[in-house]
């Protein structure tokens, strides 16, 4: 008997990431094989041209899991919210 291994999370986009994706936030069901920030970005890039453009240079996009900044290899675990934003610069 198959089980639904997908889990629902809220994705939040800031600054130019939001502009390219075209949404401030969305609720999505993540496939079972999306287990890290890095694999999530790979999955998002395949969702359409706006996502592909927003994550074309994943090394410059920062992520936060439940408001805690993390590295790309960080496991998603039981996270409820994932935020993506460009690096913050001083000025």
Query: Which of 84, 56, 58 lies closest to 69, judged by CA?
Result: 84
Taking only the tens of pLDDT, the chain with its 91 residues reads 444 556 899 999 999 999 999 999 999 999 999 999 999 999 999 999 999 999 999 999 999 999 999 999 999 999 999 999 998 765 5
What confidence score (pLDDT) does residue 1 get? 41
Q: Which two three-digit tokens encode residue 37?
A: 């920030």
Phi/psi of residue 66, nearest 5 degrees? 45, 50
pTM of the model: 0.89
DSSP assignment string, 12-54: EE-HHHHHHHT-SEEEEEEPTT--BHHHHHHHHHTT-HHHHHH
Domains of the chain: 13-85 (3.10.20)
Residue 11 pLDDT:
98
Which pLDDT does position 2 carry in this prediction? 46
């Amino acid at each position: 008997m198959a089980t639904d291994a997908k889990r629902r999370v809220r994705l939040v986009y800031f600054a130019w990431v939001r502009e390219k994706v075209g949404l401030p936030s969305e609720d999505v069901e993540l496939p079972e094989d999306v287990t890290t920030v890095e694999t999530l970005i790979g999955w998002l890039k395949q969702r359409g041209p706006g996502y592909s453009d927003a994550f074309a240079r994943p090394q410059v996009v920062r992520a936060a899991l439940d408001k805690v900044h993390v590295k790309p290899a960080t496991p998603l675990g039981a996270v409820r919210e994932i935020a993506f934003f460009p690096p913050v610069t001083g000025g």
